Structure 1
Amino acid sequence: MAHKLDVPSMWSEQMGAVVAKQNELAKDAYSTDQSIEEMRQAYRSERRFWNEGGPHVESAEDRMVPTRYGSIPVRRYVPQASEEEHNESARPLIVYVHGGGWLIGDVDTHDRITRTIASLTGAIVVSVGYTLSPEAQYPQPIEEISDVTDYIVQHAQEWGIDPQDVSFSGDSAGANMAFGALLYLRDHGKAVNARSMLLFYGAYGLRDSRSMRLLGGPWDGLTEADYEYYLKAYLGDLEKIREPYVNILDNDMSSAVPPCFIVAAGLDPLKDDSEALHELLDIAGVDNEFVVYPKVIHAFLHHSRMLDDTIDAMRRAADFFHSHKI
């Protein structure tokens, strides 16, 4: 790829070891040359290794939640509580939306991430198993996530959560949909009392950027052609990239947008999306923190077994969460 930077020469030693392990586990996990079902199976297979170990939680319970499209699966994580937390009647809620280019991934592929977030924040984390594309195209996944959030808030006692203390989190396409769901609820008269958003290397609406031009390759499945493939699967018609809950950057950020913790990977084609979001929130006067990990690639949040930056990113996200109480 003559027009691309030599990313393997730029990543950290730990990141290089992760990529080598990734290739050993499932070399073609990110190849869009295979069928969607083959992609999903390879992704699940590769993620099993990364989900081993990690923090324990008090419980991880699979439930079904009704939406306008029918019931969808979620996983509710209750972290181990301190004595003070045991005396509290309800916990904060974090709604987590997994990544995977809108068409791969599930609550299992992101299990260690969500366990870690629950453990570090002390919040009840609900990981949403939205219907994947192309079986469900925009706006269905956004509406499912919005419906799940609204349902849990309306049934707060049953879920053990404080309905006045809600946060959203997600990685990659999940960060896009988490932000989209927050805006959807706001715009449809169901705004939640949001504490924060914890957003990891999301896609927020840029179709072209310096980072997209210079970065991306087989190690992350995010060349321009790969990204267009994902968008077509999710949107059907690429003109829908302009839709407000897809192009997050085109939205009014001046009301009902909580403090945002924004993480970018320095060697990620989507890096400029995160930087643009950070600058837009600054303009709108929204409290936010923008952190770049310069020597890692997209999807590094999965790699806490081998990558120190992963642990640091989640700890900093938890610190941000704790410092922004309702």
Structure 2
Amino acid sequence: MEMNKLNAVALMSPPMLETFNKQNELMKDAFTTDITFEEMRDNYMKERKYWNEGGPVPEKIINEDIHGPHGVLDIRLHYPRKRAGKGAIVYIHGGGFVVGNLDTHSKIMRILMEETGSVVIGINYHLAPEHKYPVQVEECAFILDWLRQNADEFDIDEDNIAIAGDSGGANLALATALYLRDQKKDISFIRCLLLYYGGFGLTDSPSRRLYGGTYDGLSQKDLETYSNFYLGDHHSDLRYFDCFANDLTKDVPPCYIACGQLDPLLDDSTLLYDILVSNKIRAEYDEFSGVIHAFLHFSRSLPAAMQAIQNGAKFYRNSVKVK
């Protein structure tokens, strides 16, 4: 056990503890990084299967294979039964850039679809370590451009697109907006960002010292493993991984930021929020008491998961385009 960490299990809310015990029942040590990355992916998919059962059923689902800048990309479009306008949300799944796919995050996307009344589009970007930074950022940016160019075909508004993501996907959501801003200057088509418990660039912080361990797969060693897989020996321009090294004082879309109280990445979220609001960029921050990282998956048993998605959906509905 790492020194000076708090006993996060003892601090969990009753629903979080119930969920945690169910996780262990399903697959103990599901998030260990002391195995090959192929085994990590297999464990992750097995553990997430239970949490993705049930949930909203889309009016229709469209799967597309797109030739991107680094190979074929899969995307999945979820159309709600009760649609509100032609807005769309691009959802970037988490998993430390190493694990996860459209199936492991299916229920999150379907709930977000129902709560917003918007089309939710998931991206299967290429994973590390086979593909390293900045491949994933470039792929997500490519998909946004591609969707805008093909908006009529999919019955969406090219000037009304949001980006959402959890964990590593939240990092990619913010990084994609910054990348597009820096490359093309005008990102006023991005309605808002929904950022759930992302790591945005900190390598040390009070929350990283206090939380993270075998119970969530986010010990300091685990975090370093994910970063090493993603970055490799890349030490040049990291502004789209360490977003705090980029300019967050202007031209950042409105941001909904949410994190669990017991998450080692908590301080990434609070720092991002403080920077944005101090620069008069619209932002909202939610901290959910007694819950750990990746809690969005646990809507079957954890009220905080539904609340976080609903709060993000409300922020989305209240966000308007700059144009």
Fold equivalence (TM over 0.5): yes
Residue number in structure 2 paired with 1:221: 217
Question: Partner of 1:161 in structure 2?
Answer: 156
Aligned equivalents of 1:63, 1:153: Cα separation in 2: 15
1:212 corresponds to = 208
Q: Give the whole-Å Cα distance in 2 for the aligned partners of 1:253 and 1:6.
A: 34
**2-side partners of 1:31 and 1:253: how far apart?**
34
Q: Any unmatched runs of 5+ in structure 1? A: none
Aligned twin of 1:107: 102
- Map of 1:53-68 to 2, 5 A cutoff? 53-68=54-69
Q: Per-residue deviation at 1:12?
A: 0.6
Q: Which residue of 2 aligns with 1:282?
A: 277
Offset of 1:114 from its aligned partner? 0.3
Task: Name 1:230's counterpart in structure 2.
Answer: 226
Instruction: Describe the SS at the equivalent of 1:66.
Output: strand
The two structures, once aligned, show a CA RMSD in angstroms of: 1.3
* Greater displacement, 198-207 / 185-194: 185-194
Q: Does 1:94 align with 2:89?
A: yes
**Deviation readout 1:109-146 (Å, 9 max, x if unpaired):** 00000001111111111100000000100000110111
Deviates more, 1:250-259 or 1:41-50: 250-259
**1:70 positional shift:** 2.1
Unaligned runs of 5+ in 2: none
Letter in 2 for 1:101: G
- Give the match for residue 304 of structure 1: 299
Counterpart Cα distance in 1 of 2:244 and 2:25? 37
Instruction: Say whether the 8 Å CA contact 1:201–1:262 is kept in structure 2.
Output: yes
1:61 shift after superposition = 2.0
- d(CA) in 2 for partners of 1:94, 1:275: 24
Residue matched to 1:268: 263
Deviation, 1:43, is 0.6
Aligned to 1:320: 315
Quote the offset at 1:247 in angstroms.
0.8
Q: How far does residue 65 in structure 1 lie from its aligned partner after superposition?
A: 1.9
Q: 1:158 to 1:135 in 2, by over 3 A?
A: same
Equivalent residue number for residue 177 of structure 2: 182
Cα distance in 1 between the residues matched to 2:96 and 2:186: 26
| One-letter code aligned to 1:221 | G
Amino acid at match of 1:45: K
Return closer, same or farther for 1:191/1:75 CA change in 2, 3 Å cut-off.
farther
Helix, strand or coil for the counterpart of 1:197? strand
| Residues 66, 148 of structure 1: 8 Å contact kept | no
Larger mean CA deviation between 95-104 and 21-30 belongs to 21-30
| 1:239 to partner: Cα distance | 3.9
Are residue 131 (structure 1) and residue 132 (structure 2) matched?
Answer: no
Match of 1:35 in 2: 36
2:168, 2:199 within 8 Å by CA — same for their partners in 1?
yes
For 1:244 and 1:159, locate their aligned partners in 2 and report how far apart those are by CA, in whole Å: 32
TM-superposed CA distance for 1:252, in Å, is: 1.5
TM-score of the two chains, using structure 1 as the length reference: 0.95
SS, match of residue 77 in structure 2: strand
Count of paired positions: 319
Where has structure 1 moved over 2 Å in runs of 4 or more? 237-240, 253-256
Kindly indicate whether the alpha-carbon contact (under 8 Å) linking 1:167 and 1:196 is maintained by their aligned counterparts in 2: yes
Q: Is the Cα–Cα contact under 8 Å of residues 249 and 275 in structure 2 kept in the other structure?
A: no
Amino acid at match of 2:161: V
**Secondary structure of 1:162's match?**
coil
**Which 10-residue stretch deviates more, 115-124 or 185-194?**
185-194
For residues 208 and 61 of structure 2, the distance between their equivalents in structure 1, rounded to whole angstroms, comes to 37
Cα distance between partner residues in 1 of 2:276 and 2:103: 32
User: In structure 2, what is the Cα distance between the partners aligned to 1:72 and 1:57?
Assistant: 22
How many Å separate the matches in 1 of 2:234 and 2:10? 34
Work out whether residues 195 and 258 of structure 1, in 8 Å CA contact, stay in contact via their aligned partners in 2: yes
Match for 1:178: what amino acid?
A
